[in-house]
Amino acid sequence: MPGSVPPESAYDRRRLGQWARSEARTAGMARRDLIRLVAAAGVAVPLSTQAAPAAAVPAQAAPPAAPGIVKPLPPELFTLRGTNAETRFAALRDTGHHTPADRFFVRNHTSTPLIDAADWRLTVWGDGLRGGPAHFGYEELRALPARTATAFIECAGNGRSHYTTQQGQTVSGTAWTLGAIDVGRWRGVRLAEVLRRAGITRRAVDVLPRGLDAEVVSAGVNLGRVRRPLPVAKALDDALLAYELNGEPLPPDHGHPVRLVVPGWIGISSIKWLGDIEVSDTPLYTPWNTDLYRLFGPDHPAEGSAPLTRQTLKSAFELDWGAELTARRPVRLTGRSWSGAAPVHTVRISTDGGHRWRRARLHDSPRRDTWVRWSLEWTPPAPGPAVLLARATDGTGRSQPDTAAYNTQGYLFDAVVRHPVTVV
């Protein structure tokens, strides 16, 4: 897989082998159900319409603007998509490098639970530990050595709707445009620190963080709580147990009191409302690393690709779809580009549908796990329709292609998006 570091892919191959030989356990669900799901994965039903009813937000909470989301979702900031809310890229135009928490996109499999930090504790358990379970209260975690990191959270399906609008392909899942990403400044304690204190052994291969939100029911099957195995190599590297976003306690919709932040990896890795973490010396499987978040389709094996890890490469204009621009009046086009593989150091823009390209000016120094802001001055010529394109290149030398590789669930869209505007 592009961008994934060799130890991870080697690990995944070994894990797949163990799964095939039935050495792996299916964490928290019947093997029969899991096999059924794997078999059905090629025709997966969109989870967004199958989620359990919103039940976790108590009646005294402010009326949510989308089922199960607590914060206000004004239409100038968000597009509502079922239980989820997509950030409007135009609403990021006046924001800095970090996305204000009130504009952060929300991806909920069910609904936001309201959890009091004082009643909360994290349990770390499993046969990958030297002893029994270890518990950490909120204040205990806050007293451990803290670390701050800037990182994006981006849904694996971000940009998915462009498989259909731009490539004419049918895919399942939430029909995001490009706004299922935001960048936060996260403060917390390294997952490695907590795992070491809990007594992780050298035999451990997977950790399984699990959320406290409601169980997910999809196509009549109870998948249990949201949980996705994370290889120990990544868990011990840069994963963070975050309790602050942009200098404030985590907001309810983004995982209060504590969430995982897995820099550079697809959003599902960053489990919100963390309740427990299993540490296992055999590989673990859940629906989120078997039938979901792998690539399925004609170019992939029947059991799918290896579980997805790193995010891909994308660019977006901070401009409404179909925005009106005035002819012969100079305008400053702005946007952002990012990659899960390496810093983005070059962005090229076309204002004539892809014939001529100019280099955008970057407003951030290229850094891994986050985006670069960019701009370009343009004077639209005569009135009429125009198509804007932005193409990023990252530190691995990879540039956004014209067409994204098809997969049934529409993950990892990376093609240059053709952004229509009207010159008036």
Ligand X SMILES: Nc1nc2c(c(=O)[nH]1)N[C@H]1C(S)=C(S)[C@@H](COP(=O)(O)O)O[C@H]1N2
69's contact among Mo ion, ligand X, none, with CB below 5 to 8 A by partner kind, is: none
**Structure tokens, 226:** 């949201």
Instruction: Look up tokens 């001055």; give the residue.
Output: 377
Residues in contact with ligand X by the rule CB under 6 A: 104-109, 153, 155, 211, 213, 226, 254, 267-268, 270-273
Please count the helices (runs of H) and the strands (runs of E) in the chain: 6, 25
Q: Does 179 bind Mo ion (CB under 5 A)?
A: no
Using Cβ positions, the residue closest to Mo ion within the complex turns out to be 155
Q: CB of residue 35 vs Mo ion: minimum separation in angstroms?
A: 24
142's contact among ligand X, Mo ion, none, with CB below 5 to 8 A by partner kind, is: none
Of 35, 15, 6, the C-alpha closest to 230 is: 15
Q: CB of residue 265 vs ligand X: minimum separation in angstroms?
A: 10
Binding piece for Mo ion, criterion CB under 5 A, among 31-39, 105-113, 187-195, 341-349 = 105-113
Q: CB of residue 92 vs ligand X: minimum separation in angstroms?
A: 14
Cα first-last separation, the chain: 44
Q: Does 267 bind Mo ion (CB under 5 A)?
A: yes
Judged by beta carbon, residue 64 or residue 267, the one nearer ligand X is 267
Cα 316 to Cα 53, 337, 391, 417, distances in angstroms: 33, 6, 9, 8
Q: CB of residue 262 vs Mo ion: minimum separation in angstroms?
A: 12
Whole-angstrom distance, CA of residue 252 vs CA of residue 242? 13
Q: Does 272 bind Mo ion (CB under 5 A)?
A: no
Of 109, 251, 242, the C-alpha closest to 173 is: 109
Contact string 220-259 vs Mo ion (x = CB under 5 A): ----------------------------------------
Beta strands in 97-196 (DSSP E): 121-125, 134-137, 147-154, 181-190
**Structure tokens, 245:** 């976003």
200's contact among ligand X, Mo ion, none, with CB below 5 to 8 A by partner kind, is: none
Using Cβ positions, the residue closest to ligand X within the complex turns out to be 211
Whole-angstrom distance, CA of residue 273 vs CA of residue 257? 6
Q: CB of residue 65 vs ligand X: minimum separation in angstroms?
A: 15
Q: CB of residue 104 vs ligand X: minimum separation in angstroms?
A: 5
The size of the interface with Mo ion (CB under 5 A), counted in residues, is 4
Q: Please, which residues bridge with residue 420 across strands?
A: 387
Please tell me whether residue 347 adopts helix, strand or coil conformation: strand
What is the binding site for Mo ion (CB under 5 A)? Answer: 107, 155, 267-268
